[in-house]
Amino acid sequence: MKYYTIANVTRECYGHGDYGSELRIVKHGGIGYGTGNFPPIFRTKSLAENWMKSQDFTGELRIVDLEVYGGV
């Protein structure tokens, strides 16, 4: 089953000026990253897009797919 959530685009230096881009699912809200709550997960990409547009986040955000395998 596929779900969707929101991730932040971060830039990391891996040494000698080699910068890479990573997607991280982090807590939002409160003061700064790492406080508040994780973004919710959604059953459709359009629901995730609508939620992301309604939020007041700083930084670059992306919608990411979460694949869930197996039964409960």
∠ Cα 2 33 9 (to 5°): 55
> Per DSSP, what are the bridge partners of residue 21?
11
Q: pLDDT for 4-47, tens place per residue? A: 999 988 888 877 777 888 898 888 776 655 567 888 999 999 99
Our measurement of the distance from residue 1's CA atom to the centroid of its chain's CA atoms, rounded to an integer in Å, reads: 18
Look up the domain containing 25 and give its range.
Answer: 2-67
Query: Residue 16 carries which DSSP code?
Result: T
Three-state DSSP class for residue 69: coil
Structural domain total, the chain: 1
Which tokens is 47 given? 């629901």
Measured distance CA(46)–CA(43) in Å, rounded = 9
**What is the predicted pLDDT for the residue at 18?**
79
Which pTM does this prediction carry?
A: 0.74
Which tokens is 49 given? 């897009």
Please report whether residue 72 resides in a domain: no
